[in-house]
Amino acid sequence: MYELKVISSFSAAHHLLNYEGECENQHGHNWKVEVFIKGENLDRSNILVDFKVLKRELKTVLDKLDHKDINELEEFKNTSPSSEILAKFIHDEMKKKFPQVSKVGVWENENSCSMYYENWN
């Protein structure tokens, strides 16, 4: 089994709903995003997925979030856009192009990360 990882980032504002504390107020993060791809079969060039293609698609997904108020985006209306929800959103968007996506990590800062896995296998 092979596994790839690409890392990117975006900056955006959000606030948490149904939360008591400072994070119920609008605030921002410089999120770091990790996308993991797993697979057993390599192509003719012995590549699982071209990093360039993977990074380009991740940029397309993150551009939907970058420098936005996430709470105002249609995809997050009436939900609390926590890092967990953002990890699932990015995972689901990337999965549309890359069925081999195994997990996505979203870091709010250097010490706090949420991971989304489609299943536990």
Q: Tell me which of 3, 24, 67, 84 is the catalytic residue.
A: 67
Sheet holding 27-39, edge to edge: 2-14, 27-39, 101-109, 112-117
* Phi/psi of residue 11, nearest 5 degrees: -120, 135
Query: In the annotation, is 67 catalytic?
Result: yes
CB 81, CB 29: distance < 8 Å: no
Query: In the annotation, is 75 catalytic?
Result: no
Query: In the annotation, is 23 catalytic?
Result: yes
Q: Read off the tokens for 59.
A: 């940029």
Which residues have a catalytic role annotated? 23, 67, 108
